[in-house]
A and B are shown apart, each in its own frame.
Chain A
Amino acid sequence: MATGINSMILELRSITKRFGDLIAVNDVSFSAERGKLITFVGPSGCGKTTLLRVVSGFAEPDHGEVILDDQNVTRKSPNARDTAMVFQNYALFPHMTVGQNIAFGMRIRKRPKGEIDKEVHRLLALVKMEGLGERKPHELSGGQQQRVALARALSLNPKILLLDEPLSNLDANLRVTMREELRRLQRRLGLTIIFVTHDQEEAMSISDLLVVMDQGIVKQVGSPTEIYEKPADEFVANFVGHINFFPGEVMALSGDEMDLQIPQGKLRVKKSIFLVKVGDKVKLVVRPESVNLVDAKEELTGTENVIEGSIEVAMYIGSIIRYTIRVGDQIVYVDRADPQYSGIFREGSRVKLILKKEIHMFKASSL
C-alpha cells in the first residue's frame, strides 16, 4: 500500500459514538495533516476524549470510519494500531521501573535486548530523564512521570501520538514549561500529535489546528488565529477568551462597507464575509482588547464607531487593566494594555469607546 503520498495521516469519516441514550460524538468528520499538532478542545463532556479513544481504538464507533495512514483501522484493537497514547493520569505501570515502563512495548514486540537498552537510553535523554531509569514511578514528581509517559508512548514510533489532557495534573508553572517543551519536541521530531484539553489558553498556545467541540459536535476547525478572531458562532467566541456581543441590524450597504444600527448608536463597518441584505439581524463580536478608550470630554473629529459609556469597575491585573463599562443597557468589557503608560480611568468617569472598522459578526439566526 502506498503510504506517505497523502499528506493527511488521519481521517475521521462521520464518526458517531453513543453511550446508552447519550450521543457522545455526533457525526464528526475531520482530517489531520502529517507533522501537525492538533488539539481537540471543549468543555468537559463535549466528546473530545471519546473521539480520542475512537482514534486510539479503546472505543469502537457506532458509525463511521477511522482511516490511519490510508488504512481503515476502525475495527482494529488498540494493540494493532500505530497510535500511542499518553493518559491523563499517565498510567505508568507502578510495579516496573522507569526503564521497564519505557521498554514495555518493545519487549512485547520481542526486539533484541541490546537494541531495547539503547532505545530506552535515547528516549530517556530525549525527555531529559537521563540516569533515572532505575526509579519506580512513585519516586518521581508529576512532571517526571509525565516525561516517562511521553517517552513510553514514543518508544514504538507511533504514526500519531495521542495526548489526553496530559498536563492537567501538573501545577500551573510546570504546565507552561511542559507544553513549551512538548511543542519543541513535536517540531524537532516532526511528530503528529492529537492533544485533548479543556483549557482554551493551552489549546491556543500549543496548536497548529484547533478542533472546538461541544455536545458531541465539532463547532469549528481552524488555526488559533481563526478561532480567536473569527469564531464561527457564539459558543466558540465565548469559549476562547472574553468577548462582547452587540446585536445589530443592517441599515444600508455601500461598496465594501455597511451601516449597522446597534442599541448604543450607529456603526459603519467592513462588509461581513457572508451575504447580507438590508434588514438582516447580525451579532457583532468584539474582543475587549480591540476597543480603544478615550476620555468623554475629548473631541473626536472624523472618527467613526464611537459610543459612550461610564466606567463601573476598573480592575488592575498588572499587564492589563480591565474596565467594566456600562453602555446604555449593556455591560462592555474593555482591556487596555500597559496601564502604567496609558493611564487609568477612574471608576465613575465617562469615556468614549472607539470600535474598529473590521468587526467579526455572524447572522443572528445562526445562534
Chain B
Amino acid sequence: MSTSSSSQLFRSLTSDIRHFFRNPGLVGVTSVLVLLLLVFIVFPIGGVLLKSFTVTFPTVTILSENKVSDQAEAESKVTQTILTALESLQGIEEVRPETQEKRSVVVLRFRKNWDDMRGLNDAKRALKKEEEKLAPYVAKMDFKLGQEKIKSLGTYVDFFSKKYYWVALRNSILLAIVTTILVVCMAFCFAYLGLKGPDCVRGPLRLLGLLPLIAPPFIFALSLIVIGGRKGILTKALMLPFHIYGWPGVIIAQGITFLPLGYLMIENVLRSLNPNLDDAASDMGASDIQILFKITIPLAAPGILKAALLVFIMSIADFGNPMLIGAGVPFLATKAYFLWISEANLEMAAVFCVFLVIPSMIIFIVHEYILKGKMYTTIGGKPQQTEKRKIPLKIFGPMMTIATPVSLMIVVCFGVIFLGAFTKILMIDNSFTLEHFESTNGIRSLMSSLKFAFSAALIAPVIGISLSYILVRKRIPFKRVLEFLALLGFAVPGTVMGIGYIISFNAPPLKLTGTFAIMVINEAFRNLSVGLEAGVSKLQQIDVAIEEAAVDMGASALQAFFKIVLPLISSAFVAGFIYTFMVGMIAVSAVIFLISPGNYLASLYILNVAEEGFLGMACAISVMLILVVLACLGSLRLLQKYTKSTFF
C-alpha cells in the first residue's frame, strides 16, 4: 500500500519534472523566483543558524625570523624555547607551534571572550624573560592579533550555563503562555457575545474586538505608559506606589494587541457551528451552560487551538511591546537586539534567534500542514433559520465581566493617544496644542516611512502574485517546497530576519547593510505571503478556461498571461500593495536592526521618543500612523466593494 503510493508519488514527480523542463519560459521565471527566495529568505535564516554554531576565539600569533642553519635547529633552539616560555600563560586553550624552514610560528588560541590585548602583553612579557636564550637565534619577532572561528556548540553551552541568557527564553515562553490564555479567554467572550449576545452589546463588541488592528503594534504599551508609567496619569493622581512597567505592562499590552487575531479566528469558528446542534442538545435536556461546555466549546476547539497557536508565536516574536514597556525584563526578541546593539555579540544573538525560530517553525508546520482542514464541518444540509436563543445571565454575566474592562481599556488606550497628541502634557497642562505634530524629525521619519512602505509594497505583491500564478496554474516539481519557502519569511519572527540580514549581507558580493535597500528588501520578502494569498484566491476565482480560450485564439502563454490574467488579477495586486504598505508603516521588529542614520522610520521614532519621555510627540506620530492605516483599510474596503472580490 505505502510502497505503491510512494512509487506513484515518484512517478508523478518525474513526470512533473519532465513537463517542467519542456517549458523554457517557465523554467526561467521559476528559477529567478527561486533564486530570490534562496538569497533573501533562506540565506539569511541559514546565516543565523550557522552563526549560532560558530564560536570566535581570540588568537595571538608569534612570528619569529630565525638566524639558524636549518629547520631542526630552528625547532630546537627557537620554537621549543618559545613554547617553554609560554607554558604558564593564562587563558590559553590551544598552542599550535610550527617551524617552517628557518621560521618559527606559534599560534596561541585563547579562551572565548578572553581579552586579547592582555593575552598579547602576557605573551610578550613571558618571552622577554627568555630573551637571553633566544636573542642569538632570533633576527626579528612579530606579534599579530587575530581571530579563529570554530564550529562548536560553545555558544549554546554558554546560553544554558548563564542565567543572564536563558532567563530570556524562560520569560518569553512564560509571557507567551500567559498572553495566549488571556487572549483566548477574552477573544472567546468577545466572539460569543458578539454573535449571540443581546443586540446592544453585539455591535460594540464586534467593533472593539477588531479596533486594535488599526493601531501600530506597540501603541497600547505607549498608552499604558501614559496612564500607568512612573509619571503616568493614574500613577500620579492616585499616588500609586507601583507602575505598569515590566510584566504587567507587557502582558496587558500584548493582550490587547493580539485580541483581534484571536477574535477573528474564534468568531469564524463559532459562526460556522450549526445552530441546530444547540437546539438538539437543548431538546435532549441540556441547559445553556451544559450546551456551552459540552457542545459549543468542544466544537470550537480546533479553531480555538489555532488561534492559541498563532497568538503564541506572535507573542514570542513581538518586539515593540516588550521593548517599550518591558523595563529591562529580558525577553528573547528584545534581548537579542541588545546583545547586538550594545555587546556586538552576534553569535549569542544568533542563538537567541534559533530559540525564537524553533517555536514559530513548530507551530507554523503544525498549523499549515496538520491542523489545516481539521475543522468540524458542522453545517450539513440547510442550516435552519432559528430564533436567536437568549443567553442566560449565568453565561452573560461572567462573560460581560471579562469583556467590559477589556473594552474600556481599548477605548481608553485610543483616547489617551488622541488626547495626548493634542494637549501639551496630558492631565498636567491640558491646553490644546499642535506642537507635537510640528517636530521636524517626526515629519522626516514619517516621510521615510512612507517611502519605505511604498517601495516594499511595490516589490512584495509582484513576487507574491508571480509565485501564486506558478503555484496555482503551472505544473512544477516540489510545489510544496516552493510554497513553504515563500511563507517562511512571514513565519520567522522579524528579529530573526533582521539579524539574519545583518549577518548575511555584511560582506561582498551583497554588502547591503546600512543602505535603504536592505530595509525595503527585508520588508518585502517578509510580506510575500500577502500577495501570494491574494493571488491564489483571485486565481481560483478565475476559470482556467479563460486562459485556454486565449491560447485557443492563438495567443502565446506569455500573451495570455499579460493580456488576460494580469488584468484579471490586478485587483489582487492592489490589495497586496495596500496591505504591505500598511504593514510597512507600522513595522518595527526586523527593520530596527537595519535602519541607517538617514532613514529613521516613524514607527521606530515613536519607540525612541517614548523612551526618552516625549510622550506627546510619540502620541502625535502614532495618531498620524493610525490615520494612514485607517486610510489603507478604507481603500481596501472600497477595492473589495468595487471589484466584488475577497482577498484574504
Contacts and interface: CB of A to CB of B under 8 A. Distances in A.
Interface of A: 49, 53, 56, 58-60, 77-80, 83-85, 87-95, 104-105, 108-109, 152-153, 155-156, 164, 168-169
A89 B382 contact: yes
Contact of B279 (A87, A155, A156, A168): A87
Given A87-B276, A95-B376, A79 B387 contact: no
Contact of B283 (A84, A88, A94): A84
Contacts of B298: 95
Contacts of B376: 94-95
B69 to A, nearest CB: 90
A156 B276 contact: no
Nearest to A102: B284
B381 A77 contact: no
B366 interface: no
Contacts of B76: none
B380 interface: yes
Question: Which of A83, A84, A91, A169: most chain B Cβ within 10 A?
Answer: A91
A117 B376 CA distance: 26
Given A79-B282, A79-B283, A83-B283, A93 B384 contact: no
Contacts of A152: 280, 284
Question: Which of B285, B298, B378, B384: most chain A Cβ within 10 A?
Answer: B285
B379 to A, nearest CB: 8
B381 A88 contact: yes
Contacts of A155: 284
A88 B384 contact: yes
A131 B376 CA distance: 24
B282 A77 contact: yes
Contacts of B633: none
Interface residues of B, number: 29
The binding surface of chain B is classed by DSSP as: loop
A84 B378 contact: no
B284 A104 contact: yes
Contacts of A85: 279-280, 283
B283 A78 contact: yes
The binding surface of chain A is classed by DSSP as: loop
B381 A104 contact: no
Nearest to A94: B376
B374 to A, nearest CB: 12
Interface in B266-320: 274, 276-277, 279-287, 290, 294-295, 298-299, 301
A56 B283 contact: yes
Contacts of B301: 95
Interface in B372-398: 376-384, 386-387
Contacts of B282: 58, 77-79
A23 to B, nearest CB: 15
Question: Which of A80, A105, A156: most chain B Cβ within 10 A?
Answer: A105
Contacts of A169: 380-381
A92 B376 CA distance: 12
A89 B381 contact: yes
B276 A105 contact: no
Interface in B351-388: 376-384, 386-387
B380 A89 contact: yes
Nearest to B390: A77
Interface string B487-525: 000000000000000000000000000000000000000
B484 to A, nearest CB: 29
A108 B279 contact: no
Nearest to A105: B284
14 contacts: A53-B386, A58-B387, A79-B285, A83-B283, A84-B284, A87-B279, A87-B384, A89-B379, A93-B280, A94-B378, A95-B301, A155-B284, A156-B284, A168-B381
